[in-house]
Chains A and B, each alone.
Chain A
Amino acid sequence: MWFTGFRGAHLPLNADLIPQSGQIVIENRVRRGDGGSYQTLFNARIESAAEAHEFLLSFAYRVHTDENEGH
């Protein structure tokens, strides 16, 4: 399976603003596909002491194959 992207994020580039600990919560919104190839879409939320970041996250995967593993 592999990471295909995200949108609607506001993730800081400045290391001073990147949370070093916290909680990640993902909620599945969509799982679709056929023929062994699937896409999944999630609401993702990164919670930390400083602030929360929410965005949409997408993945793709194939069932019954060892190829294309990764992200």
Chain B
Amino acid sequence: MAQPIDVFFRGDRPYIQGSLVLSQAARIAFDGFGDGFLVSAKFSQIITCGVEVAPSGEGSGEAFGEAQFRTVDGERHKLEFFACEAVEPPRRPDRGSTLTSFSDDGNLNASAAFSIAPELDDLLAAVVETTKKAHERLPASV
């Protein structure tokens, strides 16, 4: 059965961040599966509404994304994400940059130092921010 997860628009973003969807889904996975790890994720579209999560095969409609978790015992669990068009997520303040330094070669190879709270959302956001900054040096308006 699908469960709503707590998502929100961060800062002035007009979309729900994938890192937030994953971290909020992980809270459900953590509660249900015990200690574990996030193994993979896939998103097929950008979401601008509420989100529900369900174990694979138990949701209704077309999933916009999925994630796989693994317990410390090696058991795998797959969750799927569904858009909830009727739900308007709240807006919350931006948290600022997760990076304290950044360098790249202008050809999509980069390294960055991060300083974050111990949250999966922050860790994923740091990875995404690093990659987005690397893309900023590509020609034209990416």
Residues of B within 8 A of A52 (CB): none
Instruction: Give the size category of B's interface with A.
Output: 35 or more
Contact among A11, A16, A62 with B120 in the assembled complex (CB-CB below 8 Å): A11
Judged by a CB distance under 8 angstroms, whether B60 is at the interface is no
Interface of A is mostly: strand
Interface of B is mostly: mixed
Inter-chain contact B131/A57, CB cutoff 8 Å: yes
User: From A5, which residue of chain B is reached at the shortest CB distance?
Assistant: B42
Which B residues are closer than 8 A to A by beta carbons?
13-15, 17-19, 26, 29-30, 35-44, 46, 65, 69-70, 107-120, 122-124, 126-128, 130-132, 134-135, 140-142
Which A residues are closer than 8 A to B by beta carbons?
1-16, 18-28, 31, 40, 42, 44, 46, 57, 59, 61-66, 68-71
